[in-house]
Amino acid sequence: DKEPVTILVTGAAGQIGYALVPMIARGMMLGPNQPVILHMLETEPGFEALKGVKMELIDAAFPLLKGVVATTDVVEACKDVNIAVMVAGIPRKEGMERKDVMSKNVSIYKAQASALEQHAAADCKVLVVANPANTNALILKEFAPSIPEKNITCLTRLDHNRALGQISEKLNVHVSDVKNVIIWGNHSSTQYPDVNHATVALSNGQKPVRELVADDYWLNNEFITTVQQRGGAIIKARKLSSALSAASAACDHIHDWVLGTPKGTWVSMGVYSDGSYGIQPGLIYSFPVTCDKGEWSIVEGLKIDELSREKLDKTAQELIEEKTLAYSCI
Ligand code: NDP
């Protein structure tokens, strides 16, 4: 029997957490043969609800689930974790200043970074979901200097999947036949969903999305804004923010990172910039990546046209501003 992998989910009684933990326990994150132990962290006010989530996990009798810890103690939560999914955060509410939200998140991520650094497994992989996801990941990196920067990432896979979904709907093809869209930059409305390298598998081979859609106006305008504003559209419809799709994307992110991307396919991940595509080193920026043997690498050498260049830089600029704001809160 395989050794179980220990996975931390922070904010586990929240909306995304509640959707995510059963997916992990069913093998959607690490595959159907990998036993898991769940560590769930909550605040004091969230703890009663978390106890309920633990009861439900027990009641679901998941064969792969070898243990569940529900706690408000960040040290206990981080102990020996191999994978950390950071969902907990303070959302921006009406009337709150950006700086106030940032400063609350900085203090949460500082504390969690230190606990991970001291108590998690040495090769722990970290995925930050909570907004502002890229900048929270940067803070975490700053306060966990012994965790390799390659191990700290943020979620833009939901945006990536949304882009695949929009193309599949437009062309009336199955979503699994669409690939290689890219989300560049920040997980925010300045992100750039790019289809210039995306293809669809047809019976006569791979065809470029641009050629099949044959409507540059739609691709350069409505498609981009639909993906950028999808989160808002879901809040309007559901009166709650997206949760099942965010949880599913978090599983996809870790799944592909650990188990690899299929040959010829890339995915989008927020990762530490090494200066690729002229993006300032030291930002957590979403790039196209392939994964192999538990390591991601940025897909290099893609042609960037003028319109794209502008959009890549605009979202980088927003991240530079967020970084400055975050550092002023430390
Ligand atoms: P959600 O589970 O809906 O969201 C959690 C975080 O994920 C938010 O910051 C949210 O940002 C972010 N997020 C990123 N991508 C998406 C997306 N596509 N759709 C929706 N959200 C996204 O929030 P809840 O308030 O339900 O749950 C948060 C939980 O965290 C609470 O139970 C709270 O008690 C807990 N918490 C725990 C802490 C700890 O363990 N120390 C500290 C702070 C909170 P946004 O909605 O702003 O876009």
> How confident is the model over 126-166, as pLDDT tens digits?
999 999 999 999 999 999 999 999 999 999 999 999 999 99
How far is it, in rounded angstroms, from Cα 33 to Cα 29?
A: 11
- Peptide bond just before 132 cis, omega within 30 deg: yes
φ, ψ of residue 39 to 5 degrees: the values are -110, 120
| Strand 205-208 with 199-202, pairing | antiparallel
φ, ψ of residue 83 to 5 degrees: the values are -140, 135
pLDDT at residue 225 in the model: 97
**Is residue 156 in contact with ligand 1, taking CB distance under 6 Å?**
no
pLDDT tens-digit series, residues 165-214: 999 999 999 999 999 999 999 999 999 999 999 999 999 999 999 999 99
**Is residue 10 in contact with ligand 1, taking CB distance under 6 Å?**
yes
First to last CA, the chain: 45
Q: How confident is the model at residue 119 (pLDDT cuts 50, 70, 90)?
A: very high
Q: Which atom of ligand 1 is nearest to the CA of 129?
A: 14
Count helices and strands (H / E) in the chain.
12, 14
How far is it, in rounded angstroms, from Cα 217 to Cα 325?
A: 36
Does residue 210 have a known ligand-binding role?
no
Q: What is the ipTM of this complex?
A: 0.91
Measured in Å, residue 87 CA sits from the centre of ligand 1 at: 5
Measured in Å, residue 41 CA sits from the centre of ligand 1 at: 12
> Are 102 and 135 within 8 A, CB to CB?
yes
Helix or strand or coil: residue 154? strand
On the question of pLDDT at 93 being above 90, the answer is no
Answer yes or no: 187 catalytic: yes
Radius of gyration of the chain measured on its C-alpha atoms: 19
Q: How high is the mean pLDDT of the chain?
A: 97
Q: DSSP class of residue 299?
A: P
pLDDT at residue 108 in the model: 95
Catalytically annotated residue among 39, 119, 174, 187: 187
**Is residue 108 in contact with ligand 1, taking CB distance under 6 Å?**
yes
DSSP-H helix ranges across the chain? 15-25, 44-59, 74-78, 98-119, 133-143, 157-171, 209-213, 216-220, 222-228, 230-238, 244-259, 306-329
Does residue 12 have a known ligand-binding role?
yes
On the question of pLDDT at 97 being above 90, the answer is no
| Strand 182-184 with 192-194, pairing | antiparallel
φ, ψ of residue 58 to 5 degrees: the values are -65, -45
**Is residue 264 in contact with ligand 1, taking CB distance under 6 Å?**
no
Query: Which among 152, 166, 169, 163 has a CA at the least distance from the CA of 83?
Result: 152
**Is residue 241 in contact with ligand 1, taking CB distance under 6 Å?**
yes
> Average pLDDT of 85-97?
88
On the question of pLDDT at 277 being above 90, the answer is yes
DSSP-H helix ranges across 172-228? 209-213, 216-220, 222-228
Share of the chain above pLDDT 90, in %: 96
Tokens linked to 67 = 């243990």
- Look at ligand 1, atom 26, and give the residue with the nearest C-alpha: 14
How far is it, in rounded angstroms, from Cα 1 to Cα 118?
A: 29
**Is residue 15 in contact with ligand 1, taking CB distance under 6 Å?**
yes
- Look at ligand 1, atom 32, and give the residue with the nearest C-alpha: 14
Q: Which atom of ligand 1 is nearest to the CA of 74?
A: 41
